[in-house]
Every structure is written in structure tokens, then in C-alpha cells.
Amino acid sequence: MSLRPPIIEALRKETADFTKRKIKAGQFGTPFGLPEYELLQTHPANYFMKLEHSKPMPRMLFGSLWFERELCILFADTNLGKSVLAVQIADSITKAYTIDPFSNQADECPKVLYVDFELSGKQFQIRYYDPKWGSYLFSEQFFRAQFNPLGDDPVIHNNKYEDYIKMAIGKAVKASQASVLIIDNITYMCRGTEKAKDATPLMKMLKALKTKHNLSVLVLAHTPKRSPHKPLTVNDLQGSKMLINFADSAFAIGQSSVNPATRYIKQIKQRSAREEYGETNVCLITQEMKLNFLQYNFIGHDHEQNHLHRPIPTDTALLRQQVHTLHQQGHSNRHIGRRLGIHHATVAGILEKGFENESLEVKD
């Protein structure tokens, strides 16, 4: 005779009967027994054509560089103004204006959440403040979340940092009710992105956040050390190539060699539109403080090649003369190398051997 109370026996029997019914129906193993929770949804291709036909086309948020419901990556070298451009994009979306020539088709000023792992609150305030004009007035639709060092505790997240970040961003999205998410930058979201085993879970997490909350996501990232006389490519995104493989779109900011104050925007990857701002048609921009708002202004189009450092033939007296001139002006070997498109070891060799020496081993 069972010593368990009758109510427990009844519950056990009901659970067992439920499981048997699900096994018989072929639904056992899926959450709640519902088909929509299956990992793969398989239908004839025409099913998806009909299903998606009635849905609206994604609208441009920043021209053809970033569309609604896309996971987009913006990358550039340090101090080229990624954050400045990202805040300007967020401001344009929440205030319904266009940053020429990039169309903004967002409807009804959606809420934007800017997750700022870079600047403190004071640093952000200083950037958008002028003594004469005071602080810039952002839209009430613009939300900013900043990094809290006290919350970065391994005891709290139990060594599952990525899950902790995902949970924190998800809570911030719900609290702000945002439909647009900008993350500055990806470095703080994962313990490492150099290997595929680290980058893949991170990008899956971002795509899951995008899908769960129906978000448009822009993620900022860095470029590693690169040659200044080579065009920007997918290979210039710091970390594993899996980052860009999982992204829907990507664009980058480069620095012009013609004028250090000039930047250019280049389209790197796109799925929702044809390439518009590729190598032969990059967008030239300059940064300015307009009243109390730091922003970029569009100044024209050009071929990227015209703004790259051009390597100078290394067997000429001109190169050696330029190296010595820059050295006498107090520039470091690395700065001279970047300026002239040669390795800093080559610069050191020129300075060591003297101006008159004709033989030179060049390193790139």
C-alpha cells in the first residue's frame, strides 16, 4: 500500500498520462509541446513567400547602411568618432530628421536605447555641452544606459558574463520600451571575440535579443592595427570573422590622408539593398560642434583610394629626406612609419644608417 497522500498519487498519474499523450502525438521534447518552439521551422519555400509578402518592407534608419530589424556593425579605429556618429544617428531617429545623405524612414520617432560602456555620465554631458548654449536637449525618446562598475562582480554573474550582460540589456530594453538598440561597444559584452568559439555565442545572443524584442541593433566595434594605405574591408573588424558573418550589415569609418580632420564612411556589408557607398563612392564627413551638439557633416563623395596613404618608393632620396625631416620635427618612429606607409623598423634603419646610405631593407 502506498504511503503517499492520494493528491500526490493523482498528480503523478496526471503527469504520466500527459506525457504519454504528447509522445503519441509526436510533440514530446518541445517546450510546452508547441510547434513554434521547434528549433527548425520547415515549410515549402512558397509558404515563406506568402507569409512575408504582407509584411512591410524594412525602413532605412541610416540610409542603405542600416535598416529596421537589422543587426548592424559600425567599426573604426580609436578616436575616429564612432560614438559621435552613433549618438547623432540615435538623435536623428528620435527626432525624425535626416543626416544627409542617409535617409531616415523611421516611423513616429521610435524609442532608442543607447548602452554606453565607453563614457561616464559626466564625460557624456561634457561632450554635449557648450558654456554659451548650455546642455543639448535630447528627445524624451532617447534613453541611455551606462556601465556600472559595482555590478561587474563575478560572484553575481557566477562566471557567466555573457548571460549576465544579455539579462541586463534585456531588462533595459523592457524598461525603456525601445525598438532601437545601440551598443557602444562590443568589447565589453564578451570576455573575448578573437576566436570563433567566443564570437559565435555573442552574435547569437545579439540576434536572439533582436528577435525576442523585435529590435533594430547597431553595435560599435574597433579595428585592429592596420596598414593606412590599404582599403577598409571585412578583415579590418577586430576579432573573429564570425562577428561580421552573423551581422546583417556593416559599415566603417576611415581617416583621410589628405586632411586628418576628414573622415569617410564606407559600406562593408549589406543584405537589404545594393551597395551604394562602396570603394568608388565613399562618403566624406567632417566633425563640428554646432551650438552644443557634436556632429558630423557630409561634404561629398570620392574614391577611397584618393584618401589612403600612398607608399613612397623606398629606394629614393625623397623617402630618406622625409624620414629625417619628420624625425627632426620630433615625431616618433611609429608616427613617421604610419605617415609614410612604411614599417617603423624601416624608419629606424634609415635614421641609423644616415641620409647618404643608399641600401635599405624595407618592411611593410
Q: Is residue 1 part of a domain?
A: no
Query: 298 and 186, same structural domain?
Result: yes
How many domains is the chain built from? 2
Lowest model confidence (mean pLDDT) among 38-42, 47-51, 235-239: 38-42
Q: In the structure grid, which three cell numbers stand for residue 237, read together?
A: 573588424
Q: Are 216 and 229 in contact (CB under 8 A)?
A: no
pLDDT band at 111 (very low <50, low <70, confident <90, very high): very high
Query: 154 and 296, same structural domain?
Result: yes
Query: 215 and 98, same structural domain?
Result: yes
Query: 232 and 145, same structural domain?
Result: yes
Q: Is residue 136 part of a domain?
A: yes
pTM over 0.85: no
* C-alpha pair distances (Å), 108 with each of 96, 154, 182, 188, 233: 8, 41, 18, 31, 35
Amino acid making up residue 165:
I
What CATH number should be reported for the domain holding residue 203? 3.40.50.300
Q: In the structure grid, which three cell numbers stand for residue 135, read together?
A: 546642455
134-148, 192-206, 331-345: which has the highest mean pLDDT?
134-148
Q: How far apart are CA 333 and CA 320, in angstroms?
A: 13
Q: Is residue 65 part of a domain?
A: no
Q: Is residue 349 part of a domain?
A: yes
- Residue with the larger pLDDT of the pair 25 and 289: 289
Q: Is residue 223 part of a domain?
A: yes
pLDDT band at 18 (very low <50, low <70, confident <90, very high): low
Q: Residue 248 above 80 pLDDT?
A: yes
Query: 96 and 147, same structural domain?
Result: yes
pLDDT of residue 306: 92
Query: 145 and 241, same structural domain?
Result: yes
Q: Residue 28 above 60 pLDDT?
A: no
pLDDT of residue 278: 96
What CATH number should be reported for the domain holding residue 358? 1.10.10
Q: End of a domain among 307, 329, 355?
A: 307
Could you tell me which residues are beta bridge partners of residue 252? 75, 266
Query: 264 and 357, same structural domain?
Result: no
Q: Residue 30 above 50 pLDDT?
A: no
Q: Are 203 and 211 in contact (CB under 8 A)?
A: no
Q: End of a domain among 263, 283, 307?
A: 307
Lowest model confidence (mean pLDDT) among 190-194, 287-291, 333-337: 190-194
Q: Is residue 181 part of a domain?
A: yes
Query: 163 and 75, same structural domain?
Result: yes
Query: 147 and 267, same structural domain?
Result: yes
pLDDT tens, residue by residue, 143-196:
999 988 777 665 555 567 777 888 889 999 999 999 999 999 888 776 666 566
Angle at the Cα of 94 from the Cα atoms of 88 and 96, rounded to 5 degrees: 90
Q: End of a domain among 307, 324, 346?
A: 307
Q: Is residue 350 part of a domain?
A: yes
- Residue with the larger pLDDT of the pair 153 and 344: 344
Q: How far apart are CA 44 and CA 91, in angstroms?
A: 42
H or E, element range at 232: none
Query: 266 and 125, same structural domain?
Result: yes
Which residue, 287, 276, 216, 229, is CA-closest to 251?
276
Residue 325 makes CB contacts below 8 A (sequence gap 6+) with none
Q: Is residue 332 part of a domain?
A: yes
Query: 206 and 89, same structural domain?
Result: yes
Q: List the alpha helices (DSSP H) in the chain.
A: 6-25, 45-53, 82-95, 121-127, 154-157, 161-176, 196-213, 242-246, 317-328, 333-340, 344-353
Q: How large a percentage of the chain has pLDDT more than 70?
A: 80
Q: Residue 41 above 90 pLDDT?
A: no
Query: 328 and 280, same structural domain?
Result: no
Residue 260 domain boundaries: 71-307
**Strand 282-290 relative to strand 262-269, pairing:** antiparallel
